[in-house]
Amino acid sequence: SQKIEQNSEALNIQEGKTATLTCNYTNYSPAYLQWYRQDPGRGPVFLLLIRENEKEKRKERLKVTFDTTLKQSLFHITASQPADSATYLCALPFGVTGFQKLVFGTGTRLLVSP
């Protein structure tokens, strides 16, 4: 069955450094992949979508890569700030085209220290 894996251990980094989070998946070839941010007690917030034919996507300090051969997406936050501290979730569409829903990974918690 399809599986989505994110590092369950929290990632601690210093302010100003680049944070890199990983999303791996198996037994599936998604047409796209999405990344979300979730703060405690709140619902996830959509950040970026990257399609299977795109190697890289950028939005301000965020960069996402998508390697369909490795079945992996990397999510980078450059010049990280304490306000970037949150849990980051990757999500892939599952189901028949036109009737798909998103399935989420477990998320990785990012802690940025001043």
Partner 1 sequence: DTGVSQDPRHKITKRGQNVTFRCDPISEHNRLYWYRQTLGQGPEFLTYFQNEAQLEKSRLLSDRFSAERPKGSFSTLEIQRTEQGDSAMYLCASSLWDSLHGYTFGSGTRLTVV
* Bridging pattern class, strands 108-113 and 11-14: parallel
Which residue's CB is nearer to partner 1, number 49 or number 62? 49
**Dihedral of CA 35/14/6/88: which sign?**
negative
Site string for partner 1, 59-78 (x = CB under 8 A): --------------------
**Tokens coding 9:** 């251990």
Q: Least CB distance from residue 91 to partner 1, whole Å?
A: 8
Which amino acid type is present at position 97? Answer: T
Binding residues for partner 1 (CB under 8 A): 4, 6, 8, 32, 34, 36, 41-47, 49, 89, 91, 93, 95, 99-107
